[in-house]
Amino acid sequence: MTELWLVRHGQTDWNLQGRYQGQADMPLNPTGLAQARTLAAQLEGQPFNVIYSSDLQRARQTAQILSNHLGLVLRLDPRLREIHQGEWQGLLVSELSVRYSEAMAARRSNPLTARAPGGESVAEVASRVWAAAGEIARAYPTGRVLVVSHGLALATLIAKGRGVPLEQVYSLIPENAHPCIVEWSPGHLDPD
């Protein structure tokens, strides 16, 4: 089994404002940079094989700080990106409830397949993120790997790793720059 240390990127201004980021390429704010440096110091001495990261700026910046501090190779993988929020990207939750009330209701009633207009579903995100995790597990079958990504993308890994129904994914979104550990095997998605 591969031990995946899942890390959500550090804070951005849009996190503070409560805006849906999705795949908008926002940078870390000063707090987010400090969070990444603090995490790097906390992880010092842990034996990691490598760091994989989403290629979006906020994850990449977090991973680069970790990579530099821990002396690890950093590999970027666009499959680790956050859910694409389509027309919702950049909007506040309060705006969504007014402008997209039907779509928000659909997401609550069917979180796996509902999607923002022009965006992805949770099921689609899980499929691509789980495929990336499977490749990482095949490359490091008994290793310990840092994976820097985004809230919902990581929550799909947490759900699968802990045996939690994917419908509960929104309750599993981790805090910024706090690691969560799951075990993953290359055959994690094989039928039982």
Percent of the chain whose pLDDT exceeds 70: 97
- Establish if 139 belongs to a structural domain: yes
**Does the residue 116 lie in any domain?**
yes
Q: How many Cβ atoms are within 10 Å of 91's Cβ, its own excluded? A: 18
Torsion of CA 18, 54, 173, 191, to 10 degrees: 150
Cβ neighbours, 10 Å, residue 70 = 18
In a domain, 189, yes or no: no
pLDDT digits (tens, 9 = 90+) for 122-179: 999 999 999 999 999 999 999 999 999 999 999 999 999 999 999 999 999 999 999 9
All residues at 6 or more sequence positions from 164 whose CB lies less than 8 Å from its CB, including other chains: 158, 172
As to burial, measured by CB atoms within 10 angstroms (0-12 exposed, 13-18 middle, 19+ buried), residue 98 is exposed
Residue 49 belongs to some domain of the structure: yes
CATH number of the domain that residue 54 is part of? 3.40.50.1240
Beta bridge partners of 145: 4, 50
* Banded model confidence at residue 38, pLDDT cuts 50, 70, 90: very high
Range of the domain at 108: 2-184
Per the domain annotation, does 191 fall within a domain? no
Domains: count for the chain = 1
* Token pair recorded at residue 72: 């690890």
- Active-site residue list: 9, 82
- Domain-embedded: residue 192: no
- Nearest Cα neighbor of 169 from 104, 119, 136, 125 is 125
What is the pLDDT at residue 192? Answer: 37
